[in-house]
Amino acid sequence: MLFTMRIRFVYILLFDGGNTGVHNGKIGAVTILSDQGLHCSIINPWKGQRVQISSSEDETWLSGEKLTFDTKKGVSYTLTPKNK
């Protein structure tokens, strides 16, 4: 099942699930657009998996229950689970 969803969080981050697929109850990649360039902290939707966080400027891997990373104003970040 594919769905489109955009949610703005306190005018700082815009979550864009436009290409997110949910297959067998598993979430696909998600994109976050930073409006202000601050820290981003989210609960890892892929419990127990490492997550690749990539943008046009950088790429990193995080793991754990909560994922926290710095953002830059106007930059989009795509979060993808390791097994994807």
Q: What percent of the chain has pLDDT over 70?
A: 69
27-56 pLDDT, tens digit each: 778 888 888 888 888 888 888 899 999 999
- What average pLDDT does the structure give for the chain? 77
Q: Look up the pTM and report it.
A: 0.74
Residue 5 pLDDT greater than 70, yes or no: no
List 56's β-bridge partners, or say none. none
DSSP 6-64: EEEETTTEEEE-TT-BEETTEE--EEEEESS--EEEEE-SSTTS-EEEE-SS-EEEE-S
Residue 22 pLDDT greater than 70, yes or no: no
Best CATH choice for the domain 6-81 from the list 2.60.40, 3.10.450, 2.40.50, 1.10.10? 2.60.40
1, 14, 54, 71, 82 from 59: Cα distances, Å:
28, 19, 4, 12, 13
